Structure 1
Amino acid sequence: DCHRYYKMELALSMRAILGQEPDNALFEQLAAAPKTLDEALTQPQVGELLAALRQADPAFENRDKVADNYLTLRRNPARFSKEAFAVIDNWRDSKALQTLDYFARAFKLRNEWKFDIDFMIDLNKQFGPVNIEDPNQTYPLNWEHPAAHAIYWGALGLKVAGRPDQYRIDEKNTDRIVFHSLQMLYRQGRIVLYEEDKDWGTAVYLLPDLRMFDVCNRVWQEIIQKYEEFEGGNPKAVRGGHKNFLENAVLMFYQAGHTRKAVQIYRQLQTQHRMDEQGFVRTEYQVPMITFVRNRLKQELESIGIQDAMEFIISVLRESYFRYALYEDDEAAGRENLAREVYELYQKEMGQFEQGRVGLPSLERLRYGAFVSFMEDPMYPQRLRQNLLARIQIERPDLFEQLRRQEERFFEEMRRMQQEQQN
């Protein structure tokens, strides 16, 4: 789990079974799929289809490998005869091929991954991501992520061996496994696989999945209630963690451009954590949400110098370019706005207009620095960087022109400095 290579392999393995971004309906189809090959062969024309595959390629003679070979054929036809894939083409859109497809995928989940698909459906319903704009729309867990697998086995342990009416440290630790796995899905639950070429391979990026917020928030409150009753008191550490979780969520949703959701979370923060541990009203929540966000940013900026502020703004802009390269336009715009807001706040609060005080370079210069930093970073695939430049040039010509002017000024300054040194 610690190495991105293993995350990539897990993601690709599950993607071969579930496809990319499966919906809840797929899991229902897989749960209803035949459990054995003999059961699948009782379905209309499946036997005829399998006979055609056996005739096209002897690999399908092995009954125990039918599911593996079928999925491999769909993913990598070059490993089989051309006639085998021609069979797939001939049977495309047929009920028999659909039956074989669901059987093969369900067989892999049940027999190789040892998953109970009905239990997977239960977990999708209980812990699946929630649409940020429409809370009635939910999605399956991201089974490409190791955290979803940890949730499965932890939740299964609680289902089999849990004692809801008893306080046991083993159960508390298992609750922690499930809960921290949910947080992992919230903080870095989106796996982006960016294929480059044979030399580079596949780049793996782990990004937040804000759709997991509602689930994490609900489970956190359930844990507070559960262990308040068991431990006969107020678990301050858990409550304090929930408060910090909500505060950070306000910033994350605001930065991502989901202002309405940020306001909703802030109202919950004002209601549930209105009083501090000493019983006094928290004054920091008695301001509008925008003021709260700016106060948080101001607190962070007060402790850093101009160099750190520059690095922070550039890092946010770099992330904006990265998200834009991945076509996550809302996320990119949110970070660009955050960089501008931090820039203006720092300039204002740190006394830009005081005589003799050195302020930050222009925002255009910082934006150019972030762009150059991103484009020259070998950790990003070259094709990703090239696509970013092409996209900016086509879709944001104003930004492209700003970057071009900054580049000209930069080289002009370099030439002037060289001339001064020579003189």
Structure 2
Amino acid sequence: MKTNTFNLALTIILVMFCACDHSILTGDWIDRANENGLTKSSNEPRSPDDPELFTKGIPTMWYNKYVKTTNTPEIMESQMVDGLSIKPGKSYDFPIQINAENYALIGNSNGNLLIKDKVNNTILWESQSTEYKNNAKYYLTFQYDGNLVIYRTYFNNSGNREAIWATMNLYLPSGDWNGSYPRLFEKAFYKFQKNGNLVLYWQTAEEKFMGVNKYQPIVHTGTAAGAMSPFLGCISRYTTNFPDCQQIFMKGIPKKWYDKYVVLANNPELTDSQMLDGTIIKPGKAYDFPMQINAGNYMLIGESNGNLCIKNKLNNKVLWESRSAQNGSQYSYKMIFQNDGNLVIYLINQYNMSDNSAIWSTENLYLPSANWNGNYPRLSESAFYKFQTNGNLALYWQTADIIHDAVNKYQPIVHTGTASGALSTYFGQIADNTNKFTNN
């Protein structure tokens, strides 16, 4: 990697500011600054006096959202907590561990980023981006567009990459900058501080812009002094309300599911010891029909005609069904719990493999990818169906009950209503724990 005078000067400044002797970095650092066009612009940067782009020397989008309305404290260099700085354009291959006294910023080989209290061995914050993919590897990068991103690549094809997690709320559209990103490589940096907090700072010129000190905190993980973060899955602002995170999660649960199936339905909260035994269906796993899953005196059956049903084995009575039976010997079927939140049954044409279509799904559970900037939540780690020994098929979301004291470890979302051999009152769909079972 070439080193010019400018980079050398930045390196000297970075060493002075971040007091890196307080941190230990284990893992590989790679310069991916020029990937996918996320480069420093060769054009002259627009002036920090430009009110369309900057307010008091800070990108206007960030200033209005994270400084002006939140009373975020202004910090001088002498007030900053020591730690390791992460500058735009730098990437860290997973697994990696950045230590800052009693805390560690850890990138696991499964794609999850977390902050851990090393003394108590507790997780204070995590990106909730765990995956279980063969041949996959991951890295973290702070991009010039303002986002901190975790990418998935593959050992046999490192050029094929996909973002599995990003800060999203920090994205600065290049169109606002005439195709050029702001001077993030000069002004912005994350610092994993020795108090356990991961903070995004913007370096300003306090001599010129009165009222804004040299380092302006923008967002953080909320883990200072070993505190449990109130907003898993994202990095948010300095305020008692966390609207950026609530657009995605509420108490660790996808907000759409929380609002519709936890608050309104008064679903019970369960601990591990309260859960019934049964077979777990995880996101991404497909079941070819015909198939049968047994649980106690009950069966979950995928029939050769595309219908899914629950039967009582003692009297062969159908308790619930998807009502998705089809005609045609040339078709086969499979069921899959997708990473977009839906349980889906697909028709497969044996004579035309491109003629595959969904014949049934739990549409009420769909989580639009637009809500996640094109990336779905980490259903692969937290969501699962369980066909229980009492005959009920239930969808659960696993939360961090230590962090979210109002939500226990397993939160029921929807079910088939067939517990204890009951005849479901809503055939054709999987609904919530209310008397109306509305799923529009």
TM (normalized to structure 1)? Answer: 0.21
Q: Which is bigger in relative contact order (C-alpha 8 A, separation at least 6)?
A: 2
Which has the larger helix fraction?
Answer: 1
TM-score relative to the length of structure 2:
0.21
Structure whose alpha-carbon radius of gyration is higher: 1
